[in-house]
């Protein structure tokens, strides 16, 4: 399984209500359940006009399938090659 960062341009994303964000979450989880493939949505970060999502999947194609079935935009996808944090030596 690979980890991906997905950038979704969504004008006004930072102004979405809690109910609208919950609806997006519900749709995403339902699509994950319907995929029939190993897939994990880890979390998403909402900024003013974009949402950045962390997903784990077998391939970029599966990430695109999830987006298509959920009607989610994709601006860019990047496979994570390494993770560092303040404890990295």
pLDDT in the model for residue 86: 95
CA atoms within 13 A on the CB side of 73: 11
Separation of alpha carbons 38 and 47, rounded Å: 28
Q: Residue 54 is inside which H or E element, if any?
A: strand 50-57
pLDDT in the model for residue 18: 96
pLDDT in the model for residue 69: 96
pLDDT in the model for residue 27: 95
- Tell me the domains of the chain and their CATH numbers: 2-79 (3.30.70.3090)
Positions of the chain with pLDDT lower than 50, given as ranges: none
3-state SS class at 26: helix
């Amino acid at each position: 399984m690979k980890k991906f960062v997905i950038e979704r341009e969504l004008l006004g994303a930072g102004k979405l209500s809690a109910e609208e964000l919950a609806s997006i979450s519900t749709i995403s989880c339902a699509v994950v359940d319907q995929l029939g493939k190993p897939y994990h949505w880890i979390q998403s970060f909402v900024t003013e006009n974009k949402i950045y999502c962390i997903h784990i999947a077998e391939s970029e194609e599966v990430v695109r399938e999830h987006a298509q079935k959920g009607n989610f935009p994709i601006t860019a996808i990047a496979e994570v090659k390494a993770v560092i944090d303040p404890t990295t030596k």
